[in-house]
Structure 1
Amino acid sequence: MQSAIYWRSNGPSEIIGILGGMGPAATADFYAKLVSVTPAGTDQEHPRTVIWSDPTVPDRTKALLHQGPDPTPWLIRGSEILRAAGATLIAIPCNTAHAFVPGISEHVGLPIVHMIDEVALHLAAMRPRVRVAGLLATTGTTRTGLYQEWFDHAGITLAMPDEVTQDTEVMPAIQALKAGTRGTSTAQPLARAAHRLVEQGAQAIIAGCTEIPLGLTPESIPVPLIDPALVLARAVIERTRTTPHEAQ
């Protein structure tokens, strides 16, 4: 019998579930990045994807710091909708939402590709080695230590904005980006905050809120800008990648 080349996945065919809406622009941006990093030459070579974008999920920073509504029930419901739609793994393109992953993972029954863990692994593999990374993120992410735990394991020290910079530059810029504002009014405050972290010794800057890459460009800072959404997209595609096998 003549041999033929066919494609077979490593295990069951994966369907990516994107738990989004936090915010909608970041979700759309993540899907675009997912498409851009997929090694595909045709439509049919892209992975099947289900997107649940729910902008009614309560504010994650308010929940963590100001006794706002707990977003966990919304995240569980969204995960269940993705599972019912056929998703076999879940990606959450929102940094602060990862504070609630332990509370939803036991209810989901699907693997969640952990964005912050993937960023820590990515930085640990960079050469020259990154020993200090600057973090620009929501106040909820910075104050609850979401990145610190993972980076401690990777041997990376975090540099973060002081309280004034966080309150007057970083958070206003993030809120403006969520509202659809683009341009110098958002780019300049983020760039100033990033430069201060570089002055503190940061060898890379983490755009630790998925809206930040919409306002801060790699060209505006003198060190690498790490986009967690892009890192997550690559990690997800790596898990769904198919490899050619020869059939006899």
Structure 2
Amino acid sequence: MTDKVLGVLGGMGPLASAHFMLRLTLLTPAERDQDHIPTVLWSDPRVPDRTAASLGTGSDPLPWLLRGINGLKAAGCGAIAIPCNTAHGWFDPMIRAVEMPILHIVDAAAAELRRIGVRRGRIGLMGTAATLAMRLYQDRLEAEGWQVVEPEPDQMGRLVTPAIASVKANRVAEAYAPLAEVVNSLAARGATAVVLGCTEIPLGIQAGPADALQVPVVDTIDALARASIAWALG
């Protein structure tokens, strides 16, 4: 049992944050209701598109992100998890604006890589075009000894980006084949594991057979859930 209250800044997208809540619950070592983590979910899908904002073609999401953070702080939360990778492009201004920890999803993914035994070497990275362009993963993971391999530009436009859009449109099953193709392409280029650096991508991957994937994948929803549990119980 813990008295710590976790805040979840969600709605980016709504299905990903709902799935995060499910995984947080299922991964928590609990025997009864009272063993679970007190959690407040702020799910606001009105937050402007993070990819468009980072590429200079959309509105700034920061005021909306701060509105959610302040709401979670007012609700008594002691830390915040954000089940949206691209939103971490605004991590520094968010952390400066509040006096509470925000769990970083890339650090959680690094911990998950180590947990599955991938401590160094070449790894694949999938994510939104903005996440890759902002180097949210590459800089942090390369500093810890991994070599990051990204999808080819053609694969981003033809496979990854449309698959992410399919999940956001609740057409989850459509996303599996293109995402699996990219995972296996990265494996063919020497990746020993692939980080699913967009919280829509694990949902698409789970819509098809796991045994068709040639390497293990790091689900960043699960990784963030484990980091949240560690914070709450630590």
TM-score by length of 1: 0.89
Q: CA–CA distance in 1 between the matches of 2:108 and 2:133?
A: 20
* 1:204 matched residue in structure 2: 193
Report 1:165-204 matches (<5 A): 165-183=155-173, 185-204=174-193
> Residue in 2 aligned with 1:236?
228
What is the alpha-carbon root mean square deviation over aligned residues? 1.4
Instruction: Kindly provide the amino acid, as one letter, of the partner of residue 119 in structure 1.
Output: A
Q: Does 1:102 align with 2:92?
A: yes
Pick aligned residue for 2:18 from 7, 12, 28 = 28
Residues 219 and 108 of structure 1: CA distance in aligned 2, closer, same or farther (over 3 Å): farther
Amino acid at match of 1:216: I
Q: Does 1:220 align with 2:212?
A: yes
Question: 1:126 offset after TM fit, Å?
Answer: 3.9
**Runs of 5+ consecutive residues of structure 1 not aligned to the other structure:** 1-6, 243-248
CA distance in 1, matches of 2:123, 2:91: 23
Greater CA radius of gyration, 1 or 2? 1
SS of corresponding position for 2:84: coil
- Asked if the contact 1:124–1:154 (Cα under 8 Å) also holds between the matched residues in 2, the reply is no
How far is the alpha carbon of 1:123 from its aligned partner?
Answer: 1.8
**Offset, 1:128:** 5.3
Choose the corresponding residue for 1:72, options 48, 51, 62.
62
- CA–CA distance in structure 1, aligned partners of residues 182 and 37 of structure 2: 37
1:77-126 Cα shifts (integer Å, max 9, x gaps):
10000010111100000000001010111112110011101212332454
Query: Which residue number corresponds to residue 155 of structure 1?
Result: 145
Alpha-carbon spacing, 1:84–1:128, altered in 2? closer, same or farther (3 Å): closer
1:219 is matched by which residue type in structure 2? D
Unaligned 5+ residue runs, structure 2? none
Tell me, what secondary structure is at the counterpart of 1:215? Answer: helix
Structure 2 residue matching 1:132: 3-state secondary structure:
strand
State how far apart, in whole Å, the 2-side matches of 1:125 and 1:234 are: 11
Note the C-alpha offset of 1:149. Answer: 1.3
Are 1:122 and 2:112 matched, yes or no?
yes
Task: State the 1:225 CA deviation.
Answer: 1.1
Helix, strand or coil at the partner of 1:146: coil
Matched, 1:137 2:105: no
**Distance change in 2, residues 1:128/1:67 (3 Å):** closer
Contact 1:38-1:46 within 8 A present in 2 as well: yes
Q: TM-score, normalised by structure 2?
A: 0.95
What is the rounded CA distance, in whole Å, between the counterparts of 1:50 and 1:129 in structure 2? 33
Once the two structures are TM-superposed, the CA of residue 143 in structure 1 deviates from its matched residue by 1.1
Query: What are the superposed Cα offsets for residues 18-76 of structure 1, whole Å, 9 maximum, x if unpaired?
Result: 00000000000000000011111000111110000010001101011133111111000
2:39 counterpart of 1:58: no
Q: CA deviation at 1:205?
A: 1.0
Name the structure 2 match of 1:112: 102
**Structure with larger RCO (C-alpha < 8 A, sep 6+):** 1
State the Cα distance separating 1:133 from its structure 2 match.
1.1
Structure 1 stretches of at least 4 aligned residues deviating more than 4 Å after TM superposition: none
SS in 2 for 1:229: helix
**1:129 Cα deviation after fit:** 3.6
Residues paired across the two proteins, number: 231
Change (3 A) 1:91 1:167: same
